[in-house]
Amino acid sequence: MFDNTVKFQDVDADTLAIEYWADQQQENGFETVWSMWECQDINQTIFQEKSHRVFYRFIRGDATMEEIQNDTAWVEVSAFTAGGTVRDFWRAAESCFQQAKQQGDWHTYIEDFDATLENGFELVMGS
């Protein structure tokens, strides 16, 4: 008979990483997608082990062209991390996404956390 066993010998490292992060997304019940490939593990400490503010700025889904042109369509949402691990930052990003989704945003890919001097970390999302 045929051997239907999955073999990983022909799978490259990128594919394995994508599968790992997809598994973590499902296990944690996240809608957001972790897209920061320099991280190796969900428990990896990426910033100092303390609470951090994470914020996300986006244009409201119902904004008019005039509001966009006048730079008045921006909304900011935020959440706090429990610590400095990937999981902590992913949870905060997920919270920001859920808040933004209620206001018409659709970006699900977590691409970066930019450190700011006063406000914590700005979440960079993509689609």
- All residue ranges of the chain with pLDDT < 70 are 1-10
Q: Which long-range contacts (CB under 8 A, 24 or more apart) does 93-98 make?
A: 93/32, 93/54, 93/56, 93/123, 93/125, 94/30, 94/31, 94/32, 96/54, 96/55, 96/56, 96/123, 97/31, 97/32, 97/56, 97/125, 98/31
- pLDDT the model gives residue 8: 56
- pLDDT the model gives residue 119: 87
pTM of the predicted model, to two decimals? 0.88
How far is 119 from 54, CA to CA, in rounded Å? 8
Structure tokens at 71: 């730079």
- pLDDT the model gives residue 14: 86
